[in-house]
Amino acid sequence: MTQRERQIPEGGPPPSPAGARPHHPETACASSTRPDSCVASLWEEWYHQAAPARRQAVVALAARQGVLLTRDLGLAEGVGPRAAGSAGQARRPALAALLNGQVRDLEPIRPGCPELADADLDPYQREAVARAVHTPDVCLIQGLPGTGKSRVLAEVVVQAAGRGERVLLLAPTGAAVDQVLERLGPSTAVCPVRCLGPDESVQTLFPCIRRLTLAERVRFFQEHTLLRARQTLAALSEILEIRRREEGLWARLAEMVRREEEIQVRLRELQERRSRVEAEVEAELGGSAEGEPSTLRIQWQACVRLHDEMLARIDGRLAELRAEVEKVRGERQQAEAEQGQLRPLVEARQARSWWTGAWWRAAFQGNLDERFEQLGKRLEELGAAAGRLEEEVAGQEAERGQAEEQFRA
């Protein structure tokens, strides 16, 4: 008895070799609530009838290639066509029943509809997607041409990929596969790889499908993905080098953070103290319980009275100065207007332009030059007076600002 035979419980079926899944196109078993029942029966029958050496050889073969076909079991050594025929007879009715809609042996699935990437699917298509994603065995979707089967399949692929599953998409023709792949679009959850059939070539595919082949995927990875990865690595290396050069600043930064925290604590303490001081001042200004004003209120009232008197004096002087400034400005404008009227006459007389009307008007005014000179002197006096007044106004405004600052202090 071999070691594997000693591990088989009494009366129990022999275990299937690791990684071995017997399969043959003619004996494929449809999934049901016990999908491996027909495969297990064929394996058990062969295992009990085979010689120990043959068993070990088949187990070693399964370990090497990862899968066992029915021809690897050596059907000519006794198991033969009887077992294959019985297995085929056991499988074909189940598959035929499944294709004919006879699913009494399968538990119905009532899943909730997941969050779909294609929000335009109708309720029937949404239910088909939910059943296909959550079924534990097999899901058949039937529909006439144009009912959206490819659209449903694309959503099923997206949902399965979003759950971390790998999807093998097969179809009788490559065009059917391409139709589903086109509907996937630029989905970030799916990384499809288009495999070529024996009668296909890359040149016959559409450009959007051609880039999904393994060769194009490898080329894009080498020409674009690796290049961007190297660029990102170079940029991150530069940032790392900058951070290393700034390493000496981290201690200072930590010290500044600590000082900032201390300042925040001190600021909160001062704010609390200020609120208490304001409350104490309000209570002090309120006076005693007998209604007599406190010493602080008396001082405060005296300060307010002095402040008001000072502001009243400054504001009165400012009003006088502004009135004088306006008076000087008016006289200056009048003198400038009169000087502007006499200027053409003076210029015509000085130029001796006797053929002009200005020269003849100046000829009848004997004191024209004297009046023009007096107006110039008057303008100079008014300009000096306006400058002195503006300086005094600025001084009074500065004094008023100082009084306000002192009062606030």
Q: Report if residue 199 sits inside a domain.
A: no
Q: What's the pLDDT band for 84 if we cut at 50, 70, 90?
A: very low
Q: Give the relative orientation of helices 149-162 and 174-184 as an angle to the nearest 10 degrees.
A: 60
How far is 180 from 195, CA to CA, in rounded Å? 14
Mean pLDDT of 299-316: 85
Residue 82 has pLDDT above 50, yes or no: no
Helix (H) or strand (E) holding 290: none
Split into its structural domains, the chain has a count of: 3
Which residues lie below 8 Å from residue 36, measured CB to CB, with a gap of 6+? 29
Tell me: do 69 and 31 sit in the same domain.
yes
Mean pLDDT of 115-144: 85
Higher pLDDT, 260 or 48: 260
Q: Report if residue 275 sits inside a domain.
A: no
Give the range among 9-13, 106-110, 146-150, 305-309 with minimum mean pLDDT: 9-13
Q: Are 346 and 309 in contact (CB under 8 A)?
A: no
- Please give the span between the terminal C-alpha atoms of the chain, in angstroms, as a whole number: 107
Please count the other Cβ atoms lying within 10 Å of the Cβ belonging to residue 93. 11
Residue 35 has pLDDT above 60, yes or no: no
How far is 160 from 138, CA to CA, in rounded Å? 14
Q: Report if residue 145 sits inside a domain.
A: yes
Q: Report if residue 64 sits inside a domain.
A: yes
C-alpha count within 13 angstroms, C-beta hemisphere, residue 82: 6
Q: Report if residue 104 sits inside a domain.
A: no
Tell me: do 95 and 132 sit in the same domain.
no
**Among the three residues 64, 99, 134, which one is the final residue of a domain in this structure?**
99
Q: What is the DSSP string of 217-257?
A: HHHHIIIIIHHHHHHHHHHHHHHHHHHHHGGGHHHHHHHHH
Residue 123 has pLDDT above 80, yes or no: yes
Residue 113 has pLDDT above 80, yes or no: no
Q: What's the pLDDT band for 268 if we cut at 50, 70, 90?
A: very high
Q: Look up the domain containing 30 and give its range.
A: 3-99
Residue 6 has pLDDT above 70, yes or no: no
Q: Report if residue 404 sits inside a domain.
A: yes
Tell me: do 300 and 403 sit in the same domain.
yes
Tell me: do 389 and 355 sit in the same domain.
yes
Mean pLDDT of 279-308: 72
Q: What's the pLDDT band for 323 if we cut at 50, 70, 90?
A: confident
Q: Give the relative orientation of helices 80-99 and 37-49 as an angle to the nearest 10 degrees.
A: 180
**Among the three residues 67, 99, 131, which one is the final residue of a domain in this structure?**
99
Residue 120 has pLDDT above 60, yes or no: yes
Q: Report if residue 283 sits inside a domain.
A: no
Tell me: do 159 and 86 sit in the same domain.
no
Q: Are 87 and 37 in contact (CB under 8 A)?
A: no
pLDDT at 233: 95
pLDDT digits (tens, 9 = 90+) for 174-184: 888 888 888 88
pLDDT at 289: 53
Tell me: do 326 and 369 sit in the same domain.
yes
Q: Report if residue 375 sits inside a domain.
A: yes
Tell me: do 90 and 10 sit in the same domain.
yes
Higher pLDDT, 278 or 151: 151
Tell me: do 93 and 131 sit in the same domain.
no
Fill in the amino acid letter for 146. Answer: G
